[in-house]
Amino acid sequence: MAALSGHTNTISISRINPTLYKAAEGKLEGFSVIALASAESTISIWKPQLSKPLTIIMDSFKLGVTDLSWGFNGNILLASSTDGEIMCTHF
């Protein structure tokens, strides 16, 4: 279970990265990364085991985020907005 907090506005979209990552310590536990978008055009990327987001992308759009999508390999996050713009972030 994970508690992902930090947005001041309502979360409108969440997407789980399709890639399952292995813990660096060599444990057999795996984890995925989650992207959350809010009505205030803020996107946060979370690793559920952490208490803070890995990164926060703010003010990418003039209006709210309408959709998020991870690339098939998990290295790319696409976002679209009500203002008709799209954003591509490569990790």
Tens-place pLDDT, residues 57-80 = 888 888 888 999 999 888 999 999
Q: In this structure, which amino acid lies at residue 44?
A: S
Q: Return the pLDDT at 87.
A: 93
| Spatial separation of the C-alpha atoms in residues 1 and 22, rounded to whole Å | 18
| Spatial separation of the C-alpha atoms in residues 59 and 42, rounded to whole Å | 6
Inform me whether the pLDDT recorded for 50 exceeds 70. yes
Q: Where are the domains of the chain?
A: 11-90
Stated as kind and residue range, the H or E segment containing 68 is strand 65-70
| Spatial separation of the C-alpha atoms in residues 86 and 18, rounded to whole Å | 21
What does pTM read for this prediction?
0.81
Higher pLDDT, 24 or 34: 34
Q: Is 13 helix (H, G, I), strand (E, B) or coil?
A: strand
